[in-house]
Amino acid sequence: MMDRRTFMTSLAVAGLGLTGISGTALADANAMRHRALNFQIGLRERPWLLGWQTLEAPMVAAASNEIRVEGRIPADLKGDFCRNGPAGHEVFGHRYRHWFDGDGLVHRFRLEDGTVRHEGRIIDTPKWRAEQAAFQPLYDAFDTDVEGASVSSLDSLNPGNISIIHHGGRLLALWEGGSAMELDPDTLAFRDFVTLAPEARGMPFAAHPRLDRDGTLWSFGTAGFAGKIVLYRVNPDGSLHGIHLLDVAPTPMVHDFLITERHVVFILTPWRYDHSAGKTFLERHVWQPETGGQALIIDKDDPSQRRIVDLPAFWVYHFGNAWEDAAGIIRFDYCRYADPTMTTEAFRQVMNGEAPTGTGASYRSARIDPVKGRFSESTLIDGPAAEFPRVHPGRIGRRTDRTVMLLADPDSGVDHPLFATTAMVNRETGRIDAFVHGPTEIAEEAILVPAEEGDTDSGAGWVLQTVLDYAAARTRLKIFDATDLSSGPVAVATLPYALPAGLHGNFMKA
Ligand SMILES: [Fe+2]
C-alpha cells in the first residue's frame, strides 16, 4: 500500500488538473438548445430514439395493480432488480451531447410472492439539486462543455448515472468520474458521497467493481489528469482495506477491469488521456492504435508487483469473466471493438436525433501468459454487435462457461438498429440459446440470477432484463428461465410508462 504522503502529493497534482476541466472556453447553451430541437425532429423519423428522450418526471412509480403481467412471475424469485442509466438528458431545454452525460435514473422492480411493483427517480445529487434551483445546466458533463461551468470537485458534477450495486450494507449508485454515492434503500434518494478514506475523498470510483468470493469488493478509478489509476480493495463490510496508486501515464479510458484468484488485471487500450486534446473529458482522449495496448497484471496480495504484456490495439468497455487456469494462464472474455467510434460517434448521434454509426463489438476469448508475455485469442461471437456480457455473480474471478449478453443483427427482422436479441452463450460447448424480442423492442442489459445461493454453477436460475417497446411507449421487465431463453420469457411485466434506455443493473435477493 502506498504511503500517505505520496498519495497526497498525487492528489495535489490531480487538483491542479481539475482547474482545466471547467468549461471556460466557448460553449454552448445555444448548441444545447439546438440539439433538443434536432432530437425532436429525428424522433419523428426514427421512433426508436425514444430510448434517448429525456425523462421529464423526476420520479416514477407503479403499484402491482398498475403493472400488466403476462405469464407467471416465479414465486421463489424474491428481491429487488435495480437499474441505473442516464435519463435526465435535458436540463430545462438544454440537451446534452452524449448518452453518458445525463442525470442518472435509478429504478427498482420489487419482486415478492409472484408480484412486482416499480419505482424510480432521477438521483437528487448535489449537481441535480443545484441545476433545478437555477433552472439551467451549471456543470460540465462527460462530453458536454457547459458555458460558465465551474468545478470545485469531481463530485460537484457527479450524475451517478452508470450502475447500481449493493455492498457492505449500502445501496450505491456509481458513476466513474467521481465517488460512489450512497442512496436511501427505501426512497432511492441521494444520501451522501462515499469517502473510503480522508485522502481518497472525491476520487474517481469505477462503475464496474468486481465482487470477490469472500465479499471483498475490488474497484478502481482512473485519474488521467494525474497519470494514475487508483486501485481500491474494500472489505465485505464496506470499510476500506487499502488503496494503491498505479502509475499509468498517459492513462487510457478504462471502464471495466478483471480479477482472478491471484490477480487484478487492467486492459490498457491505446485510447489515452491528453489534456490538450479538447474541452470535454471525452474529447481529451486520443486514439493511438499504432502504439498498441497493454495488459497490466497486479498481484492482489502485493500490488507493487506488476507485469505488463503487450496487446494489439482494440477498445473494450466490458468483460465477461476472468480466471487463471492450472498452467497460470490468465483467461478472459471480452467485447472487442476495432476502435472507440461507438463512443465518439454513435452515442453523440442518437442524442442529436441521428441514426448511429460506429464500429460494433465481437465477443472474444483471450489468453495471456504473464510469464512468457504472450497474448492470443479466439472469437466466440463474430458480431456485428455483442455487448453487456454478464456471468454468475458468485463466480467472478473463477471459471464460468455461461455468459448472458445482447446481440444486434441486421437480419433479426426488427425495426431498429439496436440490440434485439438476448443470448446465453456457452463458451465451452459453443451453444447459443437466444431469444429475439419484438420488432419494436430495444433490449437492455440482461443479468443472470442463479437459483442457488453461493457459487454453485449448475446453470439453473433466471435471466432478468428490461426492454423498451418504443411503439407502445412502455418499458417491460422480462424474466426467462436461464436454461431456456429461446422458449421466450416466463413472465413479462409491462410498466404504464416508458423509461429511457439504461445501462447497468443488479439483483439483490430478499
Ligand atoms: Fe459499463
State the distance from the centre of ligand 1 to the C-alpha of 319, rounded, in angstroms: 9
In the chain, domain spans: 4-252+393-509
State the distance from the centre of ligand 1 to the C-alpha of 202, rounded, in angstroms: 20
Contact 367, 331 (CB under 8 A): yes
**For residue 15, which phi and psi values (nearest 5 degrees)?**
-60, -40
Alpha carbon distance 306, 451 (integer Å): 37
State the distance from the centre of ligand 1 to the C-alpha of 378, rounded, in angstroms: 23
pLDDT band at 464 (very low <50, low <70, confident <90, very high): very high
Alpha carbon distance 431, 94 (integer Å): 46
Q: Kindly give, in sequence order, each residue whose CB lies less than 8 Å from that of residue 7, ignoring residues fewer than 6 positions away.
A: 199, 200, 243, 245
**For residue 134, which phi and psi values (nearest 5 degrees)?**
-95, -10
- Judge whether residue 17 has pLDDT over 50: no
Task: State what percent of residues in the chain have pLDDT above 70.
Answer: 95
Query: pLDDT, tens digit, for every residue of 201-223?
Result: 999 999 999 999 999 999 999 99
Query: pLDDT, tens digit, for every residue of 170-191?
Result: 999 999 999 999 999 999 999 9
Q: What percent of the chain is helix, strand and coil (3-state, nearest 5)?
A: 15, 40, 45
Contact 69, 80 (CB under 8 A): no
Mean pLDDT, range 356-365, rounded to an integer: 93
Lowest mean pLDDT among 122-126, 225-229, 467-471, 484-488: 225-229
State the distance from the centre of ligand 1 to the C-alpha of 503, rounded, in angstroms: 7
Contact 496, 62 (CB under 8 A): yes
Which pLDDT score, from 0 to 100, does residue 308 have? 97
Which pLDDT score, from 0 to 100, does residue 151 have? 80
State the distance from the centre of ligand 1 to the C-alpha of 282, rounded, in angstroms: 15
State the distance from the centre of ligand 1 to the C-alpha of 173, rounded, in angstroms: 13
Query: pLDDT, tens digit, for every residue of 411-444?
Result: 888 999 999 999 999 999 999 999 999 999 999 9
432 burial via Cβ count (<10 Å: 0-12, 13-18, 19+): middle
Amino acid in the structure at residue 311:
L
Contact 105, 56 (CB under 8 A): no
Q: What is the mean pLDDT of the chain?
A: 93
Alpha carbon distance 229, 208 (integer Å): 14
DSSP letters, 228-252, are EEEEEEE-TTS-EEEEEEEE-SSPB
State the distance from the centre of ligand 1 to the C-alpha of 330, rounded, in angstroms: 22
201 burial via Cβ count (<10 Å: 0-12, 13-18, 19+): middle
Alpha carbon distance 211, 259 (integer Å): 9
- Judge whether residue 2 has pLDDT over 90: no
pLDDT band at 410 (very low <50, low <70, confident <90, very high): confident
Distances (CA, A) of 19 to 64, 154, 296, 398: 48, 10, 29, 42
Lowest mean pLDDT among 12-16, 351-355, 372-376: 12-16
State the distance from the centre of ligand 1 to the C-alpha of 162, rounded, in angstroms: 7
Which pLDDT score, from 0 to 100, does residue 411 have? 82
Angle at 316 between CA 335 and CA 242, to 5 degrees: 115
State the distance from the centre of ligand 1 to the C-alpha of 267, rounded, in angstroms: 14
Amino acid in the structure at residue 131:
E
User: Which sign does the torsion angle of CA 159, 98, 276, 225 carry?
Assistant: positive
In 3D space, the residue among 408, 232, 257 whose CA is nearest the CA of residue 332 turns out to be 257
Q: Kindly give, in sequence order, each residue whose CB lies less than 8 Å from that of residue 34, ignoring residues fewer than 6 positions away.
A: none
Contact 497, 474 (CB under 8 A): yes
Which pLDDT score, from 0 to 100, does residue 263 have? 98
Strand order in the sheet with 263-268: 258-259, 263-268, 293-299, 306-311
Contact 509, 79 (CB under 8 A): yes
Mean pLDDT, range 450-479, rounded to an integer: 96
Which pLDDT score, from 0 to 100, does residue 6 have? 46
State the distance from the centre of ligand 1 to the C-alpha of 316, rounded, in angstroms: 10
State the distance from the centre of ligand 1 to the C-alpha of 422, rounded, in angstroms: 17
Count of C-beta atoms within a 10 Å radius of residue 430: 8
Mean pLDDT, range 228-240, rounded to an integer: 97
State the distance from the centre of ligand 1 to the C-alpha of 160, rounded, in angstroms: 13
State the distance from the centre of ligand 1 to the C-alpha of 6, rounded, in angstroms: 30
Q: What is the largest CA-CA distance in the chain?
A: 61
Amino acid in the structure at residue 348:
R
State the distance from the centre of ligand 1 to the C-alpha of 146, rounded, in angstroms: 24
State the distance from the centre of ligand 1 to the C-alpha of 60, rounded, in angstroms: 24
Contact 46, 440 (CB under 8 A): no
State the distance from the centre of ligand 1 to the C-alpha of 400, rounded, in angstroms: 20
State the distance from the centre of ligand 1 to the C-alpha of 337, rounded, in angstroms: 14
State the distance from the centre of ligand 1 to the C-alpha of 30, rounded, in angstroms: 30
- Judge whether residue 476 has pLDDT over 70: yes
Comparison of pLDDT for 3 and 380, the residue scoring more: 380
Which pLDDT score, from 0 to 100, does residue 124 have? 98
- Judge whether residue 26 has pLDDT over 80: no
State the distance from the centre of ligand 1 to the C-alpha of 33, rounded, in angstroms: 28
Lowest mean pLDDT among 320-329, 434-443, 453-462, 488-497: 453-462
State the distance from the centre of ligand 1 to the C-alpha of 108, rounded, in angstroms: 18
Threshold 0.85, pTM exceeds: yes
Strand order in the sheet with 474-481: 68-71, 491-494, 474-481, 461-469, 441-450
Query: pLDDT, tens digit, for every residue of 128-148?
Result: 999 999 999 999 999 999 988
State the distance from the centre of ligand 1 to the C-alpha of 227, rounded, in angstroms: 22
State the distance from the centre of ligand 1 to the C-alpha of 256, rounded, in angstroms: 7
Query: pLDDT, tens digit, for every residue of 271-297?
Result: 999 999 999 999 999 999 999 999 999
Q: Kindly give, in sequence order, each residue whose CB lies less than 8 Å from that of residue 151, ignoring residues fewer than 6 positions away.
A: 18, 19, 21, 22, 139, 140, 157
Q: Kindly give, in sequence order, each residue whose CB lies less than 8 Å from that of residue 185, ignoring residues fewer than 6 positions away.
A: 171
**Position of cell 488503496?**
243
State the distance from the centre of ligand 1 to the C-alpha of 317, rounded, in angstroms: 6
Lowest mean pLDDT among 242-256, 411-425, 431-445, 468-482: 411-425
First-last CA distance in the chain: 36
- Judge whether residue 333 has pLDDT over 50: yes
Mean pLDDT, range 108-126, rounded to an integer: 97
State the distance from the centre of ligand 1 to the C-alpha of 505, rounded, in angstroms: 10
In 3D space, the residue among 102, 83, 107 whose CA is nearest the CA of residue 39 turns out to be 102
- Three-state DSSP class for 310? strand
Residue 128 DSSP code: H
Strand order in the sheet with 421-426: 385-390, 402-408, 421-426, 432-436
State the distance from the centre of ligand 1 to the C-alpha of 208, rounded, in angstroms: 7
Please give the sequence-ordered ranges of beta strands (E in DSSP) within 338-431, or none if there are none. 361-369, 374-381, 385-390, 402-408, 421-426
pLDDT band at 21 (very low <50, low <70, confident <90, very high): very low
